Amino acid sequence: MSALHPHYDALVQLHTRMHHLSHLQSIAWWDQACNMPPKGQQARAAALAEIAALLHRMGTDPQLAAQLQRAEQEPLDELQRANLREMQRQWRNANALPESLVQAKTLATSRCEHAWRQQRPANDWTGFLENFRPVLRAAREEAALLAAQSGLRPYDALMDRYEPGMRSETVERVFGELKGWLPGLIAQVTERQQREPVRRPSGPFPKAAQRALSLDVMQLLQFDFDGGRLDESTHPFSGGVPEDVRLTTRYGESDFVQSLMGTIHETGHARYEQNLPRELLGQPIAQARSMALHESQSLSFEMQLGCSRPFAGLLAPLMARHLGADPAYEADNLHRLLTRVQPGFIRVDADEVTYPAHVILRFEIERALIEGDIEAEDIPALWDERMQALLGVDTRGNYRNGCLQDVHWPEALFGYFPCYTLGAMYAAQWFAAIRRQTPELDARIAAGDLSPVFDWLRDNIWSQGSRWTTDELAVRASGEPLNPAHFRAHLEARYLG
């Protein structure tokens, strides 16, 4: 421990210990989603609640308030000050919540998420609602306490945990602009694509072949298999810790695109985690800056790169190798297949043009839920109304492919959904900057050289962790804060150009 900053060093040691416990917590969550037998649920929920309470206790130790204040007076360098800023932010959030609420919420979400896995395929909204009410109660209590501590509106207080500094007023303005031009773009693109026939490959597509394809694509995307693995789960996710990233995807033998693009998406998340500043791991400054930035990485991989014409040329031989010879895997046809726009039920399967409509719907509903403007019972009718208005899709009575499709609400991840479309906007902004730096980007990708993309992301996003605020990071990386115009320009260039 340094004589110059003993209080800061003690905080560093505490956060290192908390990181180690969070490591075990993350692996237990991954195991719950991928491997755990059904009879393990009750014990696992209790264990996760216990470790959540322990971590909360450590993060709210009464001595920390004085220690943080004293560390503020110590001679810290720029990195240490940024780390202290993030420690203070975490401390403020943690101290707004009593341990009893943290534990109750963990129990409620564990039960709700586990039951949801069976209730969704059974189209059982009534059964889900019984488990969801305690989750919503805990989330509202959490939002109220965070709001009282921060001075923010309840929903903004929840969103701030995932996207520090972002406010629903900004999201509402950006999404309002999207709602103004997106339906027209969807109509234009779908009408145009009706004149561009696409050959669809003939299945079935065996799960073993899809998994082998996924692993090869992850290799192409330079995932470090010595520091992570790929598994299967009900809902694709990227979990674990930076030292041991756990990805999942899901396979359907009638459709390979779902698992392929899910794998590419999660690999984007994983490479961000694997390339966070290693020398600072365990400290808040070494964590991903925000979830919109995290989603900007998954969508940089899945949409900006993965759905591009030059990348389709790299995928084509891999498809033939694992799924067999089929003219549908020819690069131009594959590109048309991956960029097909079709309004549908499922968010995670949506194309990049219709995807924002799914996010807008969820943002509007969950904000009203947390603010108390609606109750859980109101969700299906609102869902049906807005799916029809935004996408022309009828979801009445179809809870499985409607309001039960996502894991976020069972897990009380309120405030997360806006990050997906904000992430798509950031991804378009990053690629605009990459193209300015490397005008011949498409030719480099077509030749199998992905280094212009990965080097730029590593230098400007991955290695920076939480050193800067989101706006400052965006300006340093691309020359400007979030600018949604890049997203619209990208969609119009790809689909109407």
> Among all residues, which ones are annotated catalytic?
266
Instruction: Say if CB 408 and CB 417 are below 8 A apart.
Output: yes
Burial letters for 441-450: b for 16+ Cβ neighbours within 10 Å, e otherwise? beebbbeeeb
Burial degree of 180 (CB within 10 A; 0-12, 13-18, 19+) = exposed
Closest CA to 348 of 302, 413, 381: 302
DSSP string, 352-396: TTTHHHHHHHHHHHHHHHHHTSS-GGGHHHHHHHHHHHHH----T
How far from 163 is each of 197, 279, 299, 466, CA to CA, in Å? Answer: 40, 24, 17, 12
Q: Please give the Cα distance from 8 to 73 (Å, whole number).
A: 10
Q: DSSP readout, 206-237?
A: -HHHHHHHHHHHHHHTT--GGGEEEEE-SS--
In angstroms, rounded to a whole number, what is the distance separating the alpha carbons of residues 442 and 208? 32
The DSSP annotation for 229-261 comes to: EEEE-SS--EEEETTEEEEEE--BTTBSHHHHH
